[in-house]
């Protein structure tokens, strides 16, 4: 079998949270994921569905070699830094990794070697490109005014990708996740960052006694219970969306930019209550000041993704998200209980 027949998909950042779930979904759909990752935030034991090339997206030569070696029929690009707070402290680093990495990848994909046959690209984007739109449901036409360097770099990447469409005929899907959450229902992979800043893993750490409790950042927002509302989308639903976008592009479909969420929000308080029910633990909470840059409410209008890809979330009610996250979290951090 030639490499092209193997249906190789180069997956940058495939050892990370969303990237690893997508690599698994790709393998299940009959594709051959080849991960490119520097393991700065990803996990070696999350690479289970194909080979890995160890490398950094800032290294243009390494990326070019990976593309040449893999001869991918398509590329999925997850490798990036994604912490809003860190991006405010280190904006230049975010430009180097997120923008520089995407530039290097686009250059590697659009070399003369591929002329006339540039492989399509699925890009990991974010709701952070929108900033704080004053609408109940954020659709693709909403104004893009990122409120932090992380969102700015991701928006700049989307623009670079669109420009490569004009200049080189690259077809792409930019997928803007709202709040990725949950874990693989088979409990093989899940959400684990170091340091952890995300709401659900922090709550589950508190339920396991690995932390004293959780600070609720802001209880005076103009929301039903005063805490911030987000659109939590199960990482397995996101993975299905990536495969659907890839299938679309491989059938010569047009470039897309889609908001991926559920259309329903949950408040911090509602997530904590769901976690108390699922874990059977009382989660100690403390009220704290609002976190800088946190919008009160971010909820997607996912109707375009349904119209164009027939995709919708099927596993993203907050109870299911927390149940799946809890099963993996417990197994990962207290193996003696579950083994």
Q: 143-164: buried (b, 16+ CB within 10 Å) or exposed (e) per residue? A: ebebbbbbbbbbbbbbebbeeb
217 scored as a contact of ligand UFG (CB under 6 A): yes
H-helix or E-strand containing 266?
Answer: strand 266-267
Q: Which is nearer to ligand UFG, 65 or 294 (CB)?
A: 294
At its nearest, how many Å lie between ligand UFG and the CB of residue 267?
Answer: 8
20 scored as a contact of ligand UFG (CB under 6 A): no
Tokens at 236, concatenated? 């397995």
* Side-chain-facing half-sphere of 180: CA atoms under 13 Å: 29
| One of 73, 170, 298, 313 touching ligand UFG (CB under 6 A) | 298
* Closest residue by Cα to residue 123 from 144, 102, 97: 102
Q: Where are the alpha helices (DSSP H) in 29-59?
A: none
216 scored as a contact of ligand UFG (CB under 6 A): yes
Is 150 known to be catalytic? yes
103 scored as a contact of ligand UFG (CB under 6 A): no
| One of 21, 192, 230, 234 touching ligand UFG (CB under 6 A) | 230
d(CA 156, CA 164): 12
At its nearest, how many Å lie between ligand UFG and the CB of residue 29?
Answer: 26
193 scored as a contact of ligand UFG (CB under 6 A): no
CA distances in angstroms from 154 to 10, 19, 57, 128, 174, listed in the order given:
20, 16, 15, 8, 10
At its nearest, how many Å lie between ligand UFG and the CB of residue 180?
Answer: 7
What own/partner pairs with CB < 8 Å and gap ≥ 24 does 24-30 have? 24/48, 24/49, 24/184, 24/188, 24/189, 24/239, 25/236, 25/239, 25/240, 25/242, 25/243, 26/76, 26/242, 26/243, 26/246, 29/243, 29/247
Q: Which is nearer to ligand UFG, 105 or 180 (CB)?
A: 180
80 scored as a contact of ligand UFG (CB under 6 A): no
Catalytic residue chosen out of the listed positions 150, 177, 221, 232? 150
At its nearest, how many Å lie between ligand UFG and the CB of residue 10?
Answer: 23
Binding window for ligand UFG (CB under 6 A); candidates: 27-35, 71-79, 89-97, 210-218? 210-218
The neighbour count for residue 111, using CB atoms within 10 Å, is: 13
64 scored as a contact of ligand UFG (CB under 6 A): no
| One of 64, 210, 211, 215 touching ligand UFG (CB under 6 A) | 215
198 scored as a contact of ligand UFG (CB under 6 A): yes
275 scored as a contact of ligand UFG (CB under 6 A): no
Phi, psi at residue 53, to the nearest 5°? -110, 120
Point out which residues bind ligand UFG (CB under 6 A).
82, 84, 126-128, 150, 179, 197-199, 202, 214-217, 228, 230, 268, 291, 294, 298
Residues belonging to the active site: 150
């Amino acid at each position: 079998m030639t490499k092209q027949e193997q249906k190789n998909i180069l997956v940058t950042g495939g050892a990370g949270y969303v990237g690893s779930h997508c690599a698994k979904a790709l393998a299940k759909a009959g594709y051959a994921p080849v991960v490119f990752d520097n393991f700065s935030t990803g996990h070696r034991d999350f690479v289970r569905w194909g080979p890995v090339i160890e490398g950094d997206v800032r290294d243009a030569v390494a990326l070019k070699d990976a593309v040449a070696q893999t001869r991918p029929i398509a590329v999925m690009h997850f490798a990036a830094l994604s912490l809003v707070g860190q991006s405010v402290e280190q904006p230049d680093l975010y430009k180097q990794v997120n923008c520089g990495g995407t530039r290097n990848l686009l250059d590697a994909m659009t070399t003369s070697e591929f002329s006339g046959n540039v492989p399509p690209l699925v890009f990991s984007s974010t709701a952070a490109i929108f900033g704080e739109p004053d609408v109940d449901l954020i659709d693709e036409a909403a104004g893009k005014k990122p409120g932090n360097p992380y969102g700015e770099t991701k928006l700049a990447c989307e623009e670079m990708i669109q420009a490569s469409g004009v200049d080189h005929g690259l077809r792409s899907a930019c997928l803007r996740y709202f709040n990725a959450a949950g874990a693989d229902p088979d409990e093989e992979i899940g959400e684990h960052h170091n340091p952890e800043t995300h709401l659900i893993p922090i709550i589950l750490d508190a339920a396991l006694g690995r932390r004293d409790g959780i600070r609720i950042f802001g209880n005076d927002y103009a929301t039903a219970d005063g805490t911030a509302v987000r659109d939590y989308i199960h990482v397995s639903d996101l993975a299905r969306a990536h495969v659907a976008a890839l299938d679309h592009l491989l059938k010569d479909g047009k470039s897309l930019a889609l908001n991926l969420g559920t259309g329903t929000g949950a408040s911090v308080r509602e997530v904590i209550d769901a976690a108390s029910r699922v874990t059977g633990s009382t989660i100690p909470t403390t009220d704290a000041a609002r976190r800088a840059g946190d919008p009160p409410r971010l909820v997607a209008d996912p109707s375009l993704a349904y119209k164009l890809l027939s995709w919708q979330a099927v596993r993203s009610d907050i109870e299911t998200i927390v149940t799946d996250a809890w099963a993996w979290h417990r197994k990962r951090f207290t193996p003696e209980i579950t083994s």
